[in-house]
Structure 1
Amino acid sequence: MFVLILSFAFVAALLPGVASLLGRRVFYVAALVPTGAFIWGVWAYSQIATTGPLIEQAAWVPQLGLTLGLRFDGFAFLMLSLVAGIGVLVFVYAGSYFHTEPIIGRFAATLLLFAGSMLGLVLSDNLLALFMFWELTSITSYLLISIEDNKAAARTGALQALLMTGMGGLAMLGGFVLLGEAADTYSMAELLARPPSGSVVNVALLLVLIGAFTKSAQVPFHSWLPRAMNAPTPVSSYLHSATMVTAGVYLVARFTPAFAEYSLWRPLVITFGLTTMLLGAYRSLRQHDLKLLLAYGTISQLGLMMLLFGVGTKESIFAGCTLLLAHGIFKAALFMLVGIIDHQTHTRDLRVLGGLHTQWPVVAVTAGIVAASMAGIPPLFGFLAKEEALAALGETGFAWGALVLLGVVVGSSLTVAYSARFVWGAFGPRQVTMIRDQDYVGNEAVGEQAPKPSNMFLAPVFVLAALTVVFGVLPWLVDPMIARAYESLVGKSTDHHLALWHGFGQALALSAVAIGAGCALFWRRKRIEELQESMPRVPSAQRGYDRTVKGLLEVADAVTGFVQHGSLPIYLGVILLTMIVLPGVPLLRDSVMPDLWFADSPMQVVVGFIMVVCACAAAVARRRFAAVILVGAVGYGMAALFVMQGAPDLAITQLLIETLGVAVFVLAFRHLPADFVRPKLRGSQVARIAVAALAGLFIFGFTLFAIGARTEPSISGEYLDKAYSEGGGHNVVNVIVVDFRGFDTMGEIVVLAVAALGVAAIVRAKRAPTTAEAESSATEVEV
């Protein structure tokens, strides 16, 4: 499994270079990787029936006891089928969607990296590894949405998706850490087998749910998904239908069997899921852009999936697995259809589309099939999933079960209505009134002149449409996969099976009610639109996001304007005062004064006195160059002290550093006046003097106290012991410089080289002529 995931990254690294040779055919090369992953998944799926889940582990951070664990079970195969299976079709689709765009290689590589990240996410057994892949999907999603970086809308949508999912990811990481510490393990399998208890667990679960809700676009964190529709359609048909947006659903599905009975889990997941389903379906009816219509429809379907897994009964989990697969199939096909329409007609506005059913009759029938599957019309796979959901919710036994069931029926009715609106808007015949949008101005249906798409362009859609028909009519083909996924989540096998006909019952009756109500809503669509327009505007998540970001930027500007107003002395003063106060207070309170001595030799006293005199002279010098020389003299005096203490290597280093410092100062001061400006002594000047004096005293005192704070023996003894045995030299200093501290020596060599270059630049630099010299030279030329 590790090799499988790494293969995505390896091939992705090669694609940009290959794209210059193959052009858009590079997508067909990229499709080979998810094809191989799908074939491996089928083989591994045949093995786990007898051997149990496949597990691979590798040491990640052994010092912390962390291992990178991967686990392949029935639910992982269900997700792998969506990631790899639909991934193959998306790459084939992209080969016809793009032509000669310069972004082809970059786009193919990023899309393949996303597929590998998503595969790692669904196979991860370690919580921290899952978070790593989780964030990789967010980052690659950002790159994919903004792939056409010349479009401001794409950049804005990508940033919003990254900020919202990234915020949720950080919250989820906090929850993972709390859960891992409470359970004393970061293995998801062990955690779910023995879930911890305590109040901290509720906090952890709340953080995990925030991450899941943001990733799967649950209200009120859903606004990033419609904005992400500015991405190319292959991105939407892959990330925003079957893979990335289902990551949160996947996480909730994994955690529900273990944590459903905790006080926060079930109420929160059901409330957010039902609200999301209803709001997403309602907003979908208001959209004129086909892609936005599907985006809000996806939000609605994600809410239903979240609700089913959140309920946590055996029947609802089985229904959730069925809907997860069915949704991935029909929603990917619908997004691909929108991309084809946009590619051929250059618009997605259903107000100007029309006549496509006469130009593309086969495509119109295919669109009707996949949209009917989304609406839950028999005998399609979507109908089976919807009926399983209604049956499961009708048998919860909860006090609020009837209310939830009613909400799902209402949401299903809205789903039927916006599904019919999608098909009729794109393919239905009608007289188009004068509409002006960014791509079209006219009073004729755009579809009447649309060229027919190629068979290769349509092939992925036909495959997905065929699957939704076959799995609906012959559910026994997919029933074992759903049952195995259910078993891996619940830990028990089930005797429940998918079937097209379960007899007359509550679920079938509710399906009929939802279909009938949805058809009635579509029939009265004009009246519904008028009612929607007349209703007062409800708080918008998008407006909330925009205001939040605007508020943060205003606060940031205010804070920046207060603390960074351009005064370098104030910046330096704040830094020095922080350095003095934070370590200085505990130092005065708890430190012990070490034993001190005055000097080791009279020469040290002489050199020290000269250093003090030079430092004081530098502080009062009037000319800049003189101040630089005096400061350099202080540094050279320090080098002399190092020599007296028997540390020639330190002395050389000090000489080099001081030389470099003097050279840099001289280079900088060449463009400044020769003399310092001496302002009158004011309060600000006194404050600067005080801060400088305090900083000097602090550094002096800190150095003294540091001598007495040693708690371990000096490392010098270890150097002496190992100089010959490990370094092979009798000269300890040479062994230290060359072996034990070789990188320090390399740094000193770099300092020496830079200092030499600086001195050479000063020597070779030509002094700028004075005004008098320039005038004299000009006079000579005139003469």
Structure 2
Amino acid sequence: MLVLLILHLVAALAAPLLVRWWGPRACYPLALAPAAAFCWALARTPAVSDGGAVVETYPWIGQLGLDIALRLTTLSWLMTLLIGGVGALVLVYSARYFSAGSTGLAQFAAVLVAFAGAMLVLVFADDLLLLYVGWELTTIFSYLLIGHSTERRSSRWAAAQALTVTTLGGLAMLVGFIMLGQHAGTYRWSEISAQPLPGGGYLVGAVLLILAGALSKSAVLPFSSWLPAAMAAPTPVSAYLHAAAMVKAGVYLVGLLAPALATVGPWRPLVQIAGVATMLLGGWAALRQTDLKLLLAYGTVSQLGLLVAVTGSGTPDAALAGTAMLLAHALFKAALFLVVGIIDHSAGTRDLRELSGLRHWSRPLFVVAVLAAASMAGVPPLVGFVSKEAVFGAFTDQPALLTGLVAGTVLTVAYSARFLWGAFADRPGVEPVQPVPIAASLLVPPAVLAGIGLLAGPAASVLDELLRPYADLLGGVDAHLALWSGPTPALGLSVLALVGGGLLFAVRGPLAPVLARLRSPVRGNQGYEWVVGRFDRLAIEVTGATQRGSLPQYLGIILVTLVLVPGAAMLSASPWRARIPLWDSALQPVVVLVIAVAAVLAVGARRRLTAMLLVGMTGYGTAMLFVLHGAPDLALTQFLVETATIAVFVLVLRRLPERFSARPLRRTRWVRRAIGVAVGMVAAGLALTAVGSRRAPDISAAFPDLAVLEGYGRNVVNVTLVDIRAWDTMGELSVLVVAATGVASLIFERSRTGPRPRRPESDQRVVESGRPVWLRGGPTLYEERRSIVLEVVIRLIFHTVVLFSLFLLFSGHNAPGGGFAGGLVAGLALVVRYLAGGRYELTEAAPVGAGPILGAGLAMAVGTGLVALLLGGSVLESAKVDRALPLIGDVHLVTSLFFDIGVYLVVIGLVLDILRSLGAEVDRHIEATGTAAGGLAVNKGDRS
């Protein structure tokens, strides 16, 4: 199973390249990934048909008890067949549906394959938290697929609506999962379902939250509005997501949990009432549609209500009928969506008021549509009839529910007939359309689906044998899936529904004015728009009341909250006793005094540059304290960070006035001072309280031994960063990448990098004439800003500094240094090159963009963790290699070095991004406007 997931990941990553090479035909090889899932599931049929399961478990985060637990049962086997089979056919269909010039085809192909992989994660997951991961991945990918036509506002709105509704439901479901897992003592569903769960309000609350997520995903009332709006997506997306995959996720979850939770509190009445109400209202809305795709969309809403009501009822007969209906619905609805795509593609319209005579244009298409629509209506001998009769037979002892199901089926028959009549009938007064020819291969996928629906009806006994193990989880099953079960009440109800639906369609003429006057019971976007509009209004009101544009006010509120909330907790804490030594050496109080004086002077400084230097002094003083305390690695990092920070300050101050703005009023000045003093006292008090309140042994006391035994290094600080607490470092790397992107977005409008700056021609001639030039960007500077001594020194030391950064990188595992310190040193080397030669010199020193460096670093760090996992270890687990090499001697290599290289690259990318944004790009603006405020390294050329 894990191999299938990796296969889909690889296919999704390769999709853009394949589309670039082959265009839409790339969908053919991409279809092999879901086809492999289909074939794999078929091969596992004997293992699950007797009630067994296929299980795979891989260690993930052992400390948290999280494993990648995958499990294939009868229900997930059926879902895998649908995900893989329909997914492969949709990709084959897409190869002819899209043209070579279709916009966003590479993204579509990649996201569709990735969506199929996410659905497999969802149905394979035995761990509820892993199931949630797959659940949210499908939400994200469906957002991208629904919003495929980004230039259309309707697509963007529909995608945002689907994302909002399903994400909110998913968050509720996550809370329910956590409550259920804590209640049961495990998150493995196979273990939860095998034990009796203690009842009570806590379990009821968990069940309600989980159902909120399931109902929102399957567009069951009150969450139905997003699905009709999602018809803005391309037809292949609708055929896959809204017939066989995404919307089935909620049905799958209900079916998965029903054997264990159907008897808990409001589960059964909730799913039955919501399901039948959705079936009735969705079917009624479908009768009012003139767009064939919207007709199918509301029909899908109706059918999803039926599926939820049946699979969630929690009885053996209903479980068997529900799985059969799950299969039948995927077959006929996917086929019908693909048929609508062909009609729209060839005729240029989906409006049934404009269509006439299509059955004469393509007989095969008409036959496929008839088979699929007849299955949807429940006409024998199709699989839709078998499943619909099984549904009626499962609820003969619940007359109220059965009445609703029969009434909903009458509506289903009526809108199935309306679909065929609207799309293919000869209609008087409507000019026959003249469709363009279509490729025969475009008809193959819907024909395959409709053909399986035709063959599965007579083969109902085979389906009964394959699907019965799932129903057996709820007890003995009395019913059987069969094409002919004799003159039973279920057969009579099936005939009644067909006759009633036919009569309802027959009176469509007199009924049309009534339908036109009645408001649609499922109002589409209006309810969603009303809710979103109220929240937008509330946000505006709150923002207007709290956001006044005053940075001191915002900072004051944050700091006062810090003083009041943690400060109150600190004062109310139990008394503690701890010996706090005042100092360890005589130099420490001297350094502290210097830090304090610098901080006080920085507060009162009127010049920005003076304040910056004084703040830097506090940072260097802190580094000196680290030195005195015996922490050279921390001291080195602090020195480098402070130096880099001062460089950034210098870049920013160039565009700011020399002095601060007007001083605050006297009364507010004292308020600010009081807040500052209070924050300092609370921060110091919290630090002392944390030290004095310790009851458990200090976990860091074991770090030196862990560093040697498991991290294979003697530098505890660096081994902690790249091994013991590597997950924390991974998060920090992501923060650095986001910070770099944020800085770039403040300066660049669209792209992180503009055109590469070229030196003026006059300066190029100077360089090419053979005159000695120490820095190639030096001649671009104005003479008053050049320093030949600085250029010579930097030319001589630059490469040495870069080599020193590499030394820190490679030696950091056993000595002070590491990827972070090494990256800062390399970044500072770029800083001095820029300060000496300007933006042209920066391009000479770093011809590569910051984005690729940041991406390569993050990919290196993530790849290190994944390789460890694939080789059988845990994520980011280290291994060592000791080899004796000729001429070199003994080599000691630890795999965490590759993670450290990722850190090194990310830090360099961050510094380079800052230099390109706040340095080179600001220089370009200065040159263009001539408004340098005492700036550094302003180049010649553009300024007039």
Q: Which residue of 2 aligns with 1:38?
A: 38
1:361 positional shift: 2.6
Q: In 1, Cα distance between the equivalents of 2:363 and 2:75?
A: 38
Q: Residues 374-773 of structure 1 correspond to what in structure 2 (within 5 A)?
A: 374-394=376-396, 396=397, 401-432=398-429, 444-446=431-433, 449-487=434-472, 489-490=473-474, 492=476, 494=477, 496-536=479-519, 540=523, 542-590=525-573, 615-631=599-615, 664-677=648-661, 679=663, 681-699=665-683, 739=812, 746-751=819-824
Distance 1:93-1:754 versus aligned 2 partners, 3 A rule: closer
Q: Which residue of 2 aligns with 1:65?
A: 65
Q: Residues 87-486 of structure 1 correspond to what in structure 2 (within 5 A)?
A: 87-100=87-100, 101-199=102-200, 200-394=202-396, 396=397, 401-432=398-429, 444-446=431-433, 449-486=434-471
Q: 1:430 is matched by which residue type in structure 2?
A: R
Q: 1:684 is matched by which residue type in structure 2?
A: T
Q: In 1, Cα distance between the equivalents of 2:531 and 2:221?
A: 16
Q: 2:92 is matched by which residue type in structure 1?
A: V
Q: In 1, Cα distance between the equivalents of 2:590 and 2:468?
A: 90
Contact 2:464/2:480 (CA < 8 Å) preserved in 1?
A: yes
Q: In 2, Cα distance between the equivalents of 1:337 and 1:322?
A: 23
Moved more, 452-461 or 632-641: 632-641
Instruction: State the secondary structure of the residue aligned to 1:557.
Output: helix
Q: In 2, Cα distance between the equivalents of 1:702 and 1:404?
A: 62
Q: 1:530 is matched by which residue type in structure 2?
A: P
Contact 2:51/2:74 (CA < 8 Å) preserved in 1?
A: no
The count of residues paired between Structure 1 and Structure 2 equals: 753
1:286 positional shift: 0.7
Distance 1:679-1:168 versus aligned 2 partners, 3 A rule: closer
Instruction: State the secondary structure of the residue aligned to 2:68.
Output: strand
Moved more, 371-380 or 732-741: 732-741
Moved more, 49-58 or 630-639: 630-639
Over residues 325-348 of structure 1, what are the superposed CA-to-partner deviations in whole Å (9 max), with x where a residue is unaligned? 111111111111101000101111
Contact 1:614/1:634 (CA < 8 Å) preserved in 2?
A: yes
Contact 1:24/1:99 (CA < 8 Å) preserved in 2?
A: yes
Q: In 2, Cα distance between the equivalents of 1:358 and 1:610?
A: 93
Contact 2:49/2:467 (CA < 8 Å) preserved in 1?
A: no
Over residues 690-730 of structure 1, what are the superposed CA-to-partner deviations in whole Å (9 max), with x where a residue is unaligned? 22233344445556666656668889988999999999999
Contact 1:31/1:91 (CA < 8 Å) preserved in 2?
A: yes
Q: 1:510 is matched by which residue type in structure 2?
A: L
Q: In 2, Cα distance between the equivalents of 1:657 and 1:18?
A: 44
Contact 1:55/1:70 (CA < 8 Å) preserved in 2?
A: yes
Q: In 1, Cα distance between the equivalents of 2:194 and 2:711?
A: 53
Q: Which residue of 2 aligns with 1:778?
A: none
Q: Which residue of 2 aligns with 1:21?
A: 21
1:549 positional shift: 1.6
1:310 positional shift: 2.7
Distance 1:348-1:579 versus aligned 2 partners, 3 A rule: same
Contact 2:48/2:54 (CA < 8 Å) preserved in 1?
A: yes
1:156 positional shift: 1.5
Q: In 2, Cα distance between the equivalents of 1:275 and 1:770?
A: 68
Over residues 95-143 of structure 1, what are the superposed CA-to-partner deviations in whole Å (9 max), with x where a residue is unaligned? 2211212533332222222222222322222222222222222222122
Q: 1:685 is matched by which residue type in structure 2?
A: R
Q: 2:371 is matched by which residue type in structure 1?
A: I
Over residues 474-505 of structure 1, what are the superposed CA-to-partner deviations in whole Å (9 max), with x where a residue is unaligned? 43343322334433x4365x464333222223
Moved more, 657-666 or 365-374: 657-666
Q: In 1, Cα distance between the equivalents of 2:603 and 2:124?
A: 66
1:320 positional shift: 1.4
Q: In 2, Cα distance between the equivalents of 1:722 and 1:169?
A: 39
Any gaps of 5 or more consecutive residues in structure 2? Answer: 721-807, 839-922, 935-944
Q: In 1, Cα distance between the equivalents of 2:147 and 2:502?
A: 38
Over residues 185-207 of structure 1, what are the superposed CA-to-partner deviations in whole Å (9 max), with x where a residue is unaligned? 22222222224122211111111
Q: 1:377 is matched by which residue type in structure 2?
A: V
Contact 1:202/1:264 (CA < 8 Å) preserved in 2?
A: yes
Distance 1:284-1:703 versus aligned 2 partners, 3 A rule: closer
Over residues 8-51 of structure 1, what are the superposed CA-to-partner deviations in whole Å (9 max), with x where a residue is unaligned? 22222222212222222222212222322222222211244568
Instruction: State the secondary structure of the residue aligned to 1:478.
Output: helix
1:218 positional shift: 0.5
Q: Could you state the TM-score of these two structures normalised by the residue count of structure 1?
A: 0.86
Q: In 2, Cα distance between the equivalents of 1:770 and 1:20?
A: 45
1:758 positional shift: 5.8
Moved more, 404-413 or 61-70: 61-70
1:668 positional shift: 4.2
Contact 2:146/2:234 (CA < 8 Å) preserved in 1?
A: yes
Distance 1:302-1:571 versus aligned 2 partners, 3 A rule: same
Q: In 2, Cα distance between the equivalents of 1:732 and 1:498?
A: 66
Instruction: State the secondary structure of the residue aligned to 2:93.
Output: helix
Q: In 2, Cα distance between the equivalents of 1:724 and 1:82?
A: 51
1:509 positional shift: 2.1
Contact 1:381/1:471 (CA < 8 Å) preserved in 2?
A: yes
Contact 2:12/2:113 (CA < 8 Å) preserved in 1?
A: yes
Distance 1:181-1:427 versus aligned 2 partners, 3 A rule: same
Distance 1:589-1:754 versus aligned 2 partners, 3 A rule: farther
Q: 1:234 is matched by which residue type in structure 2?
A: P
Over residues 252-293 of structure 1, what are the superposed CA-to-partner deviations in whole Å (9 max), with x where a residue is unaligned? 222222222223111111101110110010000011110110
Q: Which residue of 1 aligns with 2:790?
A: none
Q: Could you state the TM-score of these two structures normalised by the residue count of structure 2?
A: 0.72
Q: Which residue of 2 aligns with 1:439?
A: none
Q: In 1, Cα distance between the equivalents of 2:702 and 2:76?
A: 54
Contact 2:226/2:524 (CA < 8 Å) preserved in 1?
A: no
Distance 1:713-1:143 versus aligned 2 partners, 3 A rule: closer
What's the RMSD between the two structures over aligned residues?
Answer: 3.7
Distance 1:128-1:355 versus aligned 2 partners, 3 A rule: same
Instruction: State the secondary structure of the residue aligned to 1:286.
Output: coil
Instruction: State the secondary structure of the residue aligned to 2:457.
Output: helix
Instruction: State the secondary structure of the residue aligned to 1:69.
Output: strand
Moved more, 215-224 or 163-172: 163-172
1:566 positional shift: 2.2
Q: 2:414 is matched by which residue type in structure 1?
A: A
